[in-house]
């Protein structure tokens, strides 16, 4: 192997490592949920989710208590666009996990990741406020 071949191999290897490293970087896609965990009764968490939804002006469009799923919608208001929350509550031993996904409402432009996070965190803060009074 010549010096030129060796240099080319090293250079190509570095480019490949950079490309792989960039591909493995952690980015939250819009389909990834925001998550929080609680220790305690899943019934209390379920009730707190509903109270938070009402307080924030969401209407429950569909729910399945057995599967732990809720789909809630809210029309646009002065500061926020129309929004759909998809909520999953999962019980793992003594831990209740709540996953929330945020998407734009019907016939509305997509919501950027920053706005999705703000809306998800507002909902989760409402659940926390109910559970930790």
What per-residue confidence (pLDDT) applies to 91? 87
The pTM for the full model equals: 0.73
Query: 100: closest CA among 75, 125, 133?
Result: 125
Q: Binning pLDDT at 50, 70 and 90, where does residue 125 land?
A: very high
Helix (H) or strand (E) holding 106, with range, is: none
> CA 128, CA 45: separation in Å to the nearest integer?
9
Q: Read off the pLDDT of residues 11-32 as tens digits, 9 standing for 90 and up.
A: 444 344 433 333 333 333 445 6
Domain residue limits, the chain: 29-131
In the CATH hierarchy, which top-level class contains the domain 29-131? alpha beta
| CA atoms in the 13 A half-sphere facing the CB of 60 | 16
Q: Are 101 and 33 in contact (CB under 8 A)?
A: yes
pLDDT in tens, 33-86: 899 999 988 999 999 999 999 999 999 999 999 999 999 999 887 777 789 999
């Amino acid at each position: 192997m010549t010096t030129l071949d060796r240099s080319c191999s090293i250079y190509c290897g570095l480019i490949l490592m950079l490309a792989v490293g960039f591909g493995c970087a952690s980015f939250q896609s819009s389909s990834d949920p925001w998550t929080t965990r609680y220790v305690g009764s899943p019934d209390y968490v379920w009730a707190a989710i509903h109270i938070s939804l009402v307080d924030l002006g969401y209407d429950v469009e569909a729910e399945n208590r057995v599967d732990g799923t809720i789909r809630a919608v809210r029309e646009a208001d002065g500061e926020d666009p129309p929004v759909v929350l998809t909520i999953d509550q999962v019980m793992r031993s003594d831990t209740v996990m709540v996953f929330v996904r945020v998407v734009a409402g019907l016939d509305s432009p997509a919501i950027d990741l920053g706005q999705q996070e703000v809306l998800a965190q507002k909902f989760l803060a409402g659940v926390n406020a109910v559970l930790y009074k």
